[in-house]
C-alpha cells in the first residue's frame, strides 16, 4: 500500500514538472509531422493570454520534438516564433508555426 502511495506521488510530481509557464501563462501545445517526418506544425493556445508566451511555448514544443527525434535543438523555421506579429498565423486563438528539424 505504501508503495502505491509513493508511486502516485512521484507520478503527480512528474506531470507537474512537465508543465512550463511562458510569460506567466500555461499553454496547450501540439505538434504534428507534415509530409516528411522531420517537417512539422506546432500549435500553442490561447494566444489571447500572451502572444509572446504562445510564441515561446510553440518554440519549446518544437525544440523538444527535434531533440527527441533528431538529437538537435536546431530548427529551420518556415513560419517561426521570431517572425513579425503581422505574419504569424493565428486562428481561433491558436498560433500555428511550421518548421523542420535538420537531418
Q: Which domain holds residue 74?
A: 21-100
Query: What does the alpha-carbon distance between residue 44 and residue 51 come to, in Å, rounded to a whole number?
Result: 10
Q: Is residue 15 part of a domain?
A: no
Residue 4 domain-assigned? no
User: Considering the domain boundaries, does residue 37 fall inside one?
Assistant: yes
Contact 10, 41 (CB under 8 A): no
Inside any domain, residue 48:
yes
The pTM of this model reads 0.81
Q: How far apart are CA 76 and CA 18, in angstroms?
A: 25
- Asked whether residue 74 is domain-assigned, the answer is yes
**Average model confidence (pLDDT) across the chain:** 87
Question: 8 falls in which pLDDT band (50, 70, 90)?
Answer: very low
**Model confidence band, residue 14 (pLDDT cutoffs 50, 70, 90):** very low
Instruction: Give the total number of structural domains in the chain.
Output: 1
Amino acid at each position: 500500500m505504501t508503495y502505491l502511495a509513493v508511486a502516485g506521488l512521484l507520478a503527480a510530481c512528474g506531470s507537474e514538472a512537465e508543465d512550463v509557464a511562458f510569460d506567466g501563462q500555461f499553454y496547450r501545445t501540439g505538434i504534428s509531422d507534415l509530409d516528411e517526418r522531420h517537417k512539422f506544425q506546432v500549435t500553442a493556445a490561447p494566444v489571447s493570454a500572451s502572444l509572446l508566451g504562445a510564441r515561446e511555448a510553440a518554440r519549446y514544443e518544437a525544440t523538444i520534438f527535434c531533440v527527441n527525434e533528431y538529437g538537435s535543438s536546431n530548427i529551420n523555421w518556415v513560419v517561426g516564433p521570431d517572425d513579425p506579429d503581422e505574419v504569424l498565423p493565428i486562428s481561433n486563438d491558436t498560433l500555428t508555426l511550421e518548421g523542420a528539424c535538420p537531418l
